[in-house]
Every structure is written in C-alpha cells, then in structure tokens.
A and B are shown apart, each in its own frame.
Chain A
Amino acid sequence: MNVRSWLRRKPFSHAANNRSASSVAAYEPVSYDLEENLQVLRRLFTETPDMNIRMIPIGDTGGQAALVYIEGLTDKNSINNNVIKPLLNASGPFNHAVMTVGRMTVQNEWASITSNILKGNSALFVDGSAEVLTMGTQGWPQRAIEDPQLETSLKGAHQGFIESVDQNIALIRRYLPHQELKIRNFQVGRRGDTRVSMLYLEDVAHPEIRQELQDRISRIDVDVIINTGELSELIEDNPYSPFPQLMLTERPDTAASQLAQGRLVVLVDRSPSVIVGPTTFTSFFQSVDDYSTRWSIATFIRLLRFFAFFVAICLPAFYIAVISYNFELIPVKLLLTIGENRGSVPFSPFIEAIFMELTLEMMREAGVRLPAPVGQTVGIVGGIVIGQAIVQAGLISNIMVIVVAFTAIASFILPNYDLVAGVRLIRFLMMIAASFFGIFGIVIGLMTLTGHLIALESLGTPFGSPFAPMRFADWKDTLIRAPLWKMTKRPLSVHATQSVRQGDNKPEGDGS
C-alpha cells in the first residue's frame, strides 16, 4: 500500500547530510604556533565579519596572544575590563590567573573552541601553547522580566520566564532553594545546539519517569529546536491527539509548584515556555491562582471550568440536535419562541451553526494578529455589529448568536491555551455528529472522546487520572480545591517516591 509506506517513518540518517567544509577542519589538532592557529581560524570562520581578533602582547618577552570573540554576542565591558586590561597590565610570563573573569576553561579541540566562540565566549590563543582558554563573557540582548501574556494571574507573581535558560533556572531556584533540586542538561539539535535542561526534585520525582523523559529527549535528531512547543511535540506520547499531554507554562510559580508536586520541568534555551510532565487531564484545569484565593471560591471556579469544558464542546451540537431531531425535549413556550425566531431563517441549523462558528474562529485569529488598540476595536465591531447585522438581515437566528457567544465565553474560561485549541476542534466534530444523529450522535461522540482520553498516556502515566483509573485521593485537587491543610500528600498520578508534603496544619479551634 503506497499510502502506508509513505506515512511510515523511515530510518533516516541525519549525519550523512551534514558534511561541510567547516566541519572537516574541526578535527585538526590545535597547534603550538599562533599564526597557524589564526590561519585555521580564518579558514573556519569565512564570511563572519562580526568576529573580532585582538592581538595582545604578553608580558615583556614579546610573546603574542590572540583574543577571538564575536561582537554582539559578548559583553564588551567584560572583555575590555576583565580580559584585555589585566592582560595588558600584567608583567612577566603569561599567567591566566591575572584575568578577572568568572568562568574560564581550557580547550584543546577545534570543535569545542568554535562552539564556544559561536556561543558568545571569547577564546584566548597564546603563542607557544596548544591550550586555548575560553572565558565566559556572554552578553546578548535580553528582555526584562514581564507578566506572561497568555497566563495572567490576579494574585500571583507578575513574573514570566524570559529567553535565557540560566535566568529561568534562577527564577525557579528562588522558589525552591533546596539541594534536592537537580538539573540535567542536554544539547538538542545538530545546528541549533540548543541547551535543554530538565529539573526535578531528586527524592520526589519517580526515577522511571525521569529516565523515560531523558531517553526521549536524547533520541531527538533535528536541525534546530526553535520553541518549546516543537520539543513538546517531539517527545509527546501521542502527538496525533487533539489534546495536549504535556503542559506548557510561562510562569515560574506554576513551574515551581509542579516541581514541588513531584513533576519534571524541561526548559529550552531561547524559549520562554517550559514543559511540565507527566500531566493528567485535570491538570489543565488548574491555575496557580486557585491556591491563592479562598478555597470555597476556588472550588466553585474549578467546577465552573469543568462545566465550561462541557458547554464549549457540546452546546452548539446540543442546539443543533434539539432543533432538528429531539424538539420534544424543550418546553413548549421555549419551542414557540425558537420557532418564531427560526421561521425566517433560510438555512438549516447545521449550516447556521457552522457559519457562525467559523466566523467566530476567524475573529479570534484576527484578534491575535492585530496590535492591541486595533484588536479591541475589531473585537467590538465584530461582535456587536456583525452579530446584530446578521440577525437583522435574517440570515442567522438570535438564538444561534447567543449559543455561539456563550460557547466562546465558556472556552475563554479554560486556563490552558492548548486545551482550548483541542476543544475548538472537537466542537466541530460534535456538531457534525449531532447534525446526523441528534442527541445519539452527541452521546457517541462523547463515548469516543472518553475512549480516546482514557487511553492517552503522558510520559507513560495514565492521562485520564483521577477519573479513568479512579483515584479518589486525587480528587482533593481536581474537581474541588480542598483546603490546603488537607493536601498532605502529593498527587497519586505523579507516582512520587516521597509523598508526604505537609505536617499537620489544620487550624486550631472548633473549625466552624
């Protein structure tokens, strides 16, 4: 079958395509002669005008040293004051201790030397020595720490991750300054050489899950990873599902909270989102604000989110089913009202619904692309004018506009963007099912959705927990948000190796 062979993943070697001139030279040894080294350097870095080579006289003996760095990637102050100045002021034979840079390593292979130069470190070649000093003088343009755009919180910190993995790790370390917080680094991407860091609490995170994640990251063979989203898709259990199995977050407090529960966090350099795994379906309904607000309000909002999930998936389908197939379900007075409204509409409910939903999706996408002030105006224009005008022209009934608006509001309540994307897709499938079979179609859709969700896994752990393998102890933090002192153990879905996380914190007194 040709289709199958086309879709099957063929064993593919990336290495064979990567022979270039510069990589050949990378395997030559570093020579003792400075001139030879500089020639090799010029051969390796052709067409690189932002690379600067500064010749520095060493001591009184007349020896030379060459400092190689790429402007723009390096911190000029650091190079001028901490490297060049001490070297120029030093007397006597070359002593690397005279340089006042923090990170200094010795390299003697061209591959690591070029890689260091390209990453913003500066390399010092000393005449007569085959050892090259690389110094940590990185300094590239960086953004200030701001509130993350997608996940705003009312009461939590207004900090979001930025594009530097070291700074992000620092932000997380501020929440968990404990020596059990371990980091494991990977380099992913043949050309990108992106640093990917996995954080975990050693005594809490399950070793098998950790191993699984490590294996998956090490197996990736790509050119470059631009964003965390790409990494997430490459290591997911089932990338074909509309639902995400790994959570992406931009907030340090969320990441730290998940770490403390026993999950693993993966940071990707140059990307402000981090991956949290293993997750369950209900983790996507939790937001960090739930723990800062009062527990009864937080419980109400959690239940509201679950209700919103079902509304967002089923409401247009339910409307279509009830209008076309099962109108015996609606009360008589509502029936008469809807009948009058629909009497003038020329389209069938299904076409109406699809048309309005597509319009809404287009407005949503348009709103993302437009800059803030224009986006708001378009939103108002789209919502009010188009909705009103369509109803008055008699193309769509009033009730349909209400249904679509309600569905949109319900999908805005869900805290995770990936989940909302999945919900948007499923909604269309349910509408199609309802337009062919009515309520029965919706039930079949729900059954298939259930069958799909309970079979999903996230890093090997069941995704449908705590509903699919029923784990009652985990319900304290899913449908409701139990008072904090009740959550004495970490969630069962994480399979933590150390699960007690609280002592006895119950408030004293008679608790009424």
Chain B
Amino acid sequence: MKLRFLNLPIAIALLLTLSGCYDRLDMEEAAFTLVLGFDLDENGDLIIYSSIPAFNKNAKKKTQETIIHAPSPRAGRNKAAIRAIGVFQPRKLQVIVLSKHLVENKQEWFRYLDVFFRDGRNPLTSRVMVFDGQLRDLFKYQPKDKPILPLQLISLQESVNSSSLGVETTLQELQRTILDKGQTPALPQINLDSELQLSRTALLNHEGRYTASLTMNETMLLRMLQKKLRLTN
C-alpha cells in the first residue's frame, strides 16, 4: 500500500471539517470569578456576591463586583451571566466566603456548595472562610494601596497559616470534615474593622451549623491537635 502516507493527512483533513472548537474559550473573553460570597437575606434566599477581574485596559476599577439574589448558586449563576462582561467561569475560584449569618441560620447550607463538585474543571482547593458581618461591606472594601480582594484574602490566609494562628480549609477538606464523624470542621473567620483581619476560627457541627469561635491561642492548640503546627518565626 503505497498510499500509506496519505492516511494521516486525509484523516486530519476529515477531522478538520468536522470539528468546530466546541470547548474553546479564549481567556480574555472569560470572566473568572475569583471570590464568591454567600449571604442570607430575609426571605431565606441566598445573596451571591462575586468579584471578577477586569482585563480591559480602559477599565478604571480592576475588578467588577456583582450582587445577586437567588434561591441557589446554580440559579444565581444564570443571573450573573446576564450581567458579566465575558463568559462566566467558576474555574479559577480562589476563595469562598460565607457570612456568619448564613452559617448560623441556614439549614444544611453545605448542600449549596455541592454544585462546585459537579464540574470536573472546578478547583477544589478554593479556600473557605467565614465572614463576621455583612458581606456587602467586604465586597465594597477596595483600598487603593492593596491588591484586589481575592489576592488580599489569599495572602492573608497564607500569612496566618504559616504562623499557625489560623486554620486553612479548602473545599475538599471542608467536605471531608463535615462528612467525617470523628473530626470537627473548622473554618477561618475574618472580620473587617479598618482592615481585614483573620483572628478567629469558626467551628461547625456536622450539619454545618456554626457552634463556636476559637481565639488565636486556642487555634494554635487546635492545630497542634491536627498535627499541622508550623512556626516560621
């Protein structure tokens, strides 16, 4: 068969006529949510806050915030899609912030986060934090001398983590500890005075309800129990 060499080009040519770049999404056309926040409103619906970096050179602000009222994250995603500049993508989610109000009062709020486990391309290493206060204040906090909110939260988490003054919980860890009957789920708790602070640790019971907060020193003891103590100084 002297035509062997034609097999490859013919195959490629045929494939080219069939394919249409179905999954292609150029980066500048995508709107990545780097931080998502969940709060509870009076009707028991979720308020979903998201912060999306703007890639346009002409944009004055570096990020775009959206606030949506929806019964669930999936419904909220649709509402967000009609407002974002770009295709809404949760694939680079770095931080999930939950308001203390939600964690205290909503039954089985953890099931809302189930949607992040469904897409194979979602990261499960997003850090989960509890915010003491109104989430609206957090998402409005954009000082000029600090980087954008997601990077701020991440560096805050890292600095606290390296001195063992707080816990670091990824989404995967959270699911594991909530489902594991032998361990208590713990989330870092941030609040906003004049600056962002990560000073406490929120403890949850196995339905996810908030039960108590630990101070810095008690958190260090917790980390000793978890065998994750690290002291960089």
Cβ B21 vs Cβ A343 within 8 A: no
- Expressed in whole angstroms, the minimum distance between the Cβ of B93 and any Cβ of chain A is 10
Complexed CA–CA distance, A326 and B121 (Å): 9
B41 interface contact, C-beta 8 A? no
* Chain B residue at smallest Cβ distance from A433: B12
Cβ B2 vs Cβ A8 within 8 A: yes
Cβ B27 vs Cβ A339 within 8 A: yes
Cβ B19 vs Cβ A338 within 8 A: no
Complexed CA–CA distance, A446 and B57 (Å): 38
Please report which residues of chain B, range 140-183, place their CB below 8 angstroms from some CB of chain A when the two chains form the complex.
150-151, 154
Please tell me which stretch of A122-130, A291-299, A328-336 contacts chain B, meaning at least 4 of its Cβ atoms lie within 8 angstroms of it. A328-336
Cβ A344 vs Cβ B57 within 8 A: yes
B114 interface contact, C-beta 8 A? no
A-B contact pairs, 11 of them (CB 8 A): A323-B27, A324-B27, A332-B151, A335-B32, A339-B27, A343-B28, A343-B56, A348-B26, A432-B16, A435-B24, A437-B23
Q: Which residues of B contact A335 (CB under 8 A)?
A: 27, 32, 92
A9 interface contact, C-beta 8 A? yes
Cβ A325 vs Cβ B28 within 8 A: no
Q: Which residues of B contact A (CB under 8 A)?
A: 2-6, 8, 12, 15-16, 19, 21, 23-28, 30, 32, 34, 53, 55-57, 91-92, 94, 121, 123, 150-151, 154
Q: Which residues of B contact A339 (CB under 8 A)?
A: 27-28, 53, 55
Given the interface pairs A332-B34, A336-B53, the reply to whether A325 lies near B24 with Cβ below 8 Å is yes
Cβ B91 vs Cβ A327 within 8 A: yes
Given the interface pairs A9-B2, A324-B24, A342-B28, the reply to whether A332 lies near B94 with Cβ below 8 Å is yes
- Expressed in whole angstroms, the minimum distance between the Cβ of A268 and any Cβ of chain B is 26
Report which residue of B2, B6, B26, B91 has the largest number of chain A beta carbons within 10 angstroms of its beta carbon.
Answer: B26
Q: How many A-B residue pairs have CB under 8 A?
A: 71
A-B residue pairs, 3 tightest by C-beta: A240-B5, A343-B55, A339-B55
Interface magnitude class on chain A:
20 to 34
Q: A327-B30, A328-B92 are in contact. List 12 more A-B contacts (CB 8 A).
A: A240-B5, A324-B21, A324-B25, A324-B27, A332-B94, A339-B53, A339-B55, A340-B57, A342-B26, A343-B56, A348-B26, A435-B21
Q: Which residues of A contact B (CB under 8 A)?
A: 4, 7-9, 240, 323-328, 332-333, 335-336, 338-340, 342-345, 348-349, 429, 432, 435-438, 448
Q: Which residues of A contact B8 (CB under 8 A)?
A: 448
Interface of A is mostly: helix
Q: Which residues of B contact A437 (CB under 8 A)?
A: 19, 23
Cβ A332 vs Cβ B57 within 8 A: no
Q: Which residues of B contact A436 (CB under 8 A)?
A: 15-16, 19, 21
Complexed CA–CA distance, A432 and B154 (Å): 37
* Chain A residue at smallest Cβ distance from B121: A328
- Expressed in whole angstroms, the minimum distance between the Cβ of B119 and any Cβ of chain A is 10
User: Which residue from B6, B55, B150 sits with its C-beta under 8 Å from A332?
Assistant: B150
Complexed CA–CA distance, A8 and B2 (Å): 7
Complexed CA–CA distance, A323 and B24 (Å): 9
Q: Which residues of A contact B28 (CB under 8 A)?
A: 339, 342-343, 345
Q: Which residues of A contact B15 (CB under 8 A)?
A: 436
Cβ A323 vs Cβ B26 within 8 A: yes
- Expressed in whole angstroms, the minimum distance between the Cβ of B6 and any Cβ of chain A is 8
* Chain A residue at smallest Cβ distance from B2: A8
Complexed CA–CA distance, A436 and B23 (Å): 8
